[in-house]
Chain A
């Protein structure tokens, strides 16, 4: 603003002389360790006259790399851009195509347009740059002629994946140094944080307003972005604009889907074709050639099919998270907070059926017997090195001390209700969805009173004071 744009450009140009990039970084997605534990042919595919794609290629084909994100139509992600059809084909003064585009179902066209991507017809998959754009008439002059022959009625999309692209820019600026370029929770800052930043690739998010079996909703993600997660290093991004928040949410969904897709795809392959499986099979005197031949068969037929159905499943699950069916709505309003209600809550808390004290401790200090027991890793069946409860990311994840007044998933009664109803996904906090909603409310009342009184009705006791001193929120 203070310097003229041209001056700015010169500066940028000078900077380019020193480095490869001015603002964009040339980052890359990494594959998960499990992908890398497959035998090389399964990872990279089998070369030959008709090359067969491996797991990596299947992922890349659908998700691209950070510089070139793919907008795989199947995913329930808002990629941005406007879908249009070709209404008229003409030539511009320079001889390049001048297309008249019509918005899908007569919808309005965007004010700005940079490129157009053809989704059907002879030009399918081609991307062309728009040099002149008139949003009123929908006339787009392309910079170059197309290789295929266009027909009227061909589907095309203007500036597809723009939301994702801007989401990626914002993500690289605000999020990636903790959550990692690939959303694996292994950015450079991650190792210093307690708790560690979320690894999206399981497709699991802890604090949701959706049922225990449902994915996280867009609203949940946005809420976490806006208000942060108290008691952790996830800060509040309240002051980002609504559009920016949306773009980040979509990009996080994209990364989660990529990770989960990769995970499930590898699950199909790893049983028979991981490096360890290969070793044991070779040990059982199978020849490597025969295994590769079998893999070839598997990759070209079974896996391609599996890949499709995985995509469909993911689309259904993630798409379903935003629906009303997925959302937790208490059947009764919150029970009025009273000493009686809290006492009832305390009874439930100690009851055999709910058994909250087993983890959270008799007085809610997060020191129940489970916190000192050694747990088994459910995947490897080995005991963890340290005692206590672990989450699906293999991090020690001890039950909350309920006296601190810090509620990571939010302090509204509905937030606590959801924590109890759906559990905390990925952690050992189970779902209590079969508990009557009224009882959940009693529990909520009891839990909300804990920072201030050690026992229902015992307001202002000495015991509560030290805990209050460390209240964060």
Chain B
């Protein structure tokens, strides 16, 4: 940590001994901007998503402000932009609705999905399987550059309907609210732009998925059998399969909704009626004609969006398994059960979408089926938790911020998983549906689990990305503050849910039975502000370490994976010479490693003579 030396272009800096294949000079544009190098693309995704994380976080704080100080003057938004000058900074309800809609949209589509698959998937897949790049580098580049039109569309949607409104139909965009322009008139064209953005994110993800599947199947290094792949790769592989099967349904549904909304874009009355039943009058518009069915959207939407929940979680599970093993200097407990349980989660993930619709009025017999399948999905999740605890058990723990974030991941995932059981049970869900209980649940999974995993992963693979280490003390502070702020914000939401506070209310205290929850909401908002500002530690550390972090060698953590045999940062083509894999990635503290006098053994290191090979996969 003491070696603070200025670096010349730490990232993407061509290492002296890189590239076995024709290296030619590249322009700045093709090297760092329209790059086809998976590492550059991964880093581009990472930086973009961190930026979007701040946008989404700011939106969340605005939501929390309104909940703590309803109709009070909202800082920044209220006055600075002059949006609500005449009201003395008091925001309007449709603005609030836009805030939470865009918070969810940005966080899900521009942060969590791309940071996992886009950033880490891109960066890690070729490195961990020993490939020199992705199977389709140009497709890979396009998958990043299709994010920008998506960001552009989401950005336009903020202003398309006027500065004080935007898409305001929730990230789920249930028709008819999202369908009839008059039902949510403040959304107007913004909602259509939002749908385009959604579709473009889908295009980007799809390009990534195809690439990941092909790369993982075809481009593994010699000796890298399927069951020698790190769990990160398994999780990325399963995620890619999920994406590619579920996404087309959402894309189709999105286009159906766009066609239903044509009237909001073109000066025409011609539009489809996929989701519009007849005889509906909103905002004194003419009664609708048509025989559509709003529930169709819910089925199609959740057919994608439930698997998408696992798309937002599985890669983090894989990465955390990798990092935990490394930081505990122990093999992952039950490698194969981990793989099978991920596959089970993905498989079951396709047949549980109906649990989002328990109160929608669909056939109750379906409800029973969906309840049982949903309950069963808790099983593989439980197995994973037990295995993580088993991995920590009697390990040689390194209490650095990577480990702490991973342990935070496990602890938070337990809460998120257990709260899910309440909502899987239909009768209990009838009470909890659309209350803050569900808000607590999915934040524990998506933030508590996934983002803590991402925080760990950023620090863990930072040296591989930029050749420098992040400051661990700052990361520990970041972890502690985020963890406290997170629990202070989201744990009380369970209680709000039990108290029956519905979500998406601009002013819950209008209702007598919720009035007494105001102080609790104020406490939560203070916690959220703490958590929000703690993220500057991460960003600051990221930027500082990029320039001034301690130089890292090839393998600063003493880890086993193939990526740690490459230079830090790896040059074009990744490895000095095509790697050969001799064993699984988790043989920490194995007899083989001991024979070398260390507690790790790279997958590329041949078995030392006279030592029994310990690559056991019976479990």
Q: Could you tell me if B93 and A189 are in contact, using CB atoms closer than 8 angstroms?
A: yes
- Does residue B434 face the partner (Cβ distance < 8 Å to A)? no
CA A25 to CA B66, docked complex, whole Å: 13
- Does residue B287 face the partner (Cβ distance < 8 Å to A)? yes
The segment from B45-53, B316-324, B515-523, B543-551 found at the interface with A is: B515-523
Q: How far is the CB of B228 from chain A (nearest CB, A)?
A: 53
B489-529 to A contact mask, C-beta < 8 Å, 1/0: 00000000000000000010010000011011011011001
Q: How far is the CB of A27 from chain B (nearest CB, A)?
A: 3
Q: How far is the CB of A239 from chain B (nearest CB, A)?
A: 8
B279's nearest neighbour on chain A, judged by CB, is A469
A192's nearest neighbour on chain B, judged by CB, is B185
CA A222 to CA B510, docked complex, whole Å: 19
Which residues in A have their C-beta under 8 angstroms from that of B526?
11, 14-15
Which residues in A have their C-beta under 8 angstroms from that of B281?
470, 472
Instruction: Tell me whether A25 and B88 are in contact in the complex, defined as CB-CB below 8 angstroms, given that A3-B523, A470-B287 are known contacts.
Output: yes
Within 8 A of B (CB), among A1-43: 1-3, 7-8, 11-12, 14-15, 18-28, 30
Q: Could you tell me if B75 and A18 are in contact, using CB atoms closer than 8 angstroms?
A: yes
CA A322 to CA B601, docked complex, whole Å: 92
B265-289 to A contact mask, C-beta < 8 Å, 1/0: 0000000000000110101110100
CA A409 to CA B74, docked complex, whole Å: 37
* Cross-interface CB contact of B519 among A11, A469, A472, cutoff 8 Å: A11
B71's nearest neighbour on chain A, judged by CB, is A173
Q: Could you tell me if A189 and B529 are in contact, using CB atoms closer than 8 angstroms?
A: no
The segment from A175-183, A334-342, A373-381, A421-429 found at the interface with B is: A175-183
- Does residue B87 face the partner (Cβ distance < 8 Å to A)? yes
Q: Could you tell me if A231 and B73 are in contact, using CB atoms closer than 8 angstroms?
A: no
Q: Could you tell me if B75 and A189 are in contact, using CB atoms closer than 8 angstroms?
A: no
Within 8 A of A (CB), among B69-108: 69-75, 84, 86-95
- Does residue A369 face the partner (Cβ distance < 8 Å to B)? no
Q: Could you tell me if A177 and B87 are in contact, using CB atoms closer than 8 angstroms?
A: yes
Q: Give the residue among B75, B182, B284, B523 with the most A Cβ atoms within 10 A.
A: B284
- The count of residues in chain B whose C-beta lies closer than 8 Å to any C-beta of chain A is 43
Q: How far is the CB of A13 from chain B (nearest CB, A)?
A: 11
- Does residue B186 face the partner (Cβ distance < 8 Å to A)? yes
Q: How far is the CB of B87 from chain A (nearest CB, A)?
A: 5
- Does residue B68 face the partner (Cβ distance < 8 Å to A)? yes
Which residues in A have their C-beta under 8 angstroms from that of B86?
27-28, 30, 180-182
Instruction: Tell me whether A8 and B522 are in contact in the complex, defined as CB-CB below 8 angstroms, given that A25-B72, A188-B92, A188-B94 are known contacts.
Output: yes
* Cross-interface CB contact of A176 among B87, B94, B525, cutoff 8 Å: B87
Which residues in A have their C-beta under 8 angstroms from that of B523?
3, 11
- Does residue B605 face the partner (Cβ distance < 8 Å to A)? no
Q: Give the residue among A189, A232, A472 with the most B Cβ atoms within 10 A.
A: A189
CA A240 to CA B520, docked complex, whole Å: 24
Instruction: Tell me whether A27 and B87 are in contact in the complex, defined as CB-CB below 8 angstroms, given that A3-B519, A11-B522, A20-B73 are known contacts.
Output: yes
Which residues in A have their C-beta under 8 angstroms from that of B88?
21, 25-28, 66, 181
B73's nearest neighbour on chain A, judged by CB, is A21
Instruction: Tell me whether A189 and B186 are in contact in the complex, defined as CB-CB below 8 angstroms, given that A19-B74, A27-B90, A177-B93 are known contacts.
Output: yes
CA A364 to CA B71, docked complex, whole Å: 44
Q: Could you tell me if A194 and B89 are in contact, using CB atoms closer than 8 angstroms?
A: no
A447-473 to B contact mask, C-beta < 8 Å, 1/0: 000000000000000000010011010
The 26 sampled A-B contact pairs (Cβ below 8 Å) are: A11-B522, A15-B68, A15-B69, A15-B522, A15-B525, A19-B69, A19-B73, A19-B74, A21-B73, A22-B72, A23-B72, A24-B72, A25-B89, A25-B90, A26-B73, A173-B71, A177-B92, A181-B88, A182-B86, A187-B92, A188-B95, A192-B94, A192-B185, A192-B186, A194-B284, A470-B287
> What 3 pairs across the A-B complex have the smallest Cβ distances?
A27-B88, A25-B88, A188-B92
Known: A172-B87, A177-B92. 5 other contacts (CB 8 A): A173-B70, A188-B84, A189-B92, A192-B94, A469-B278
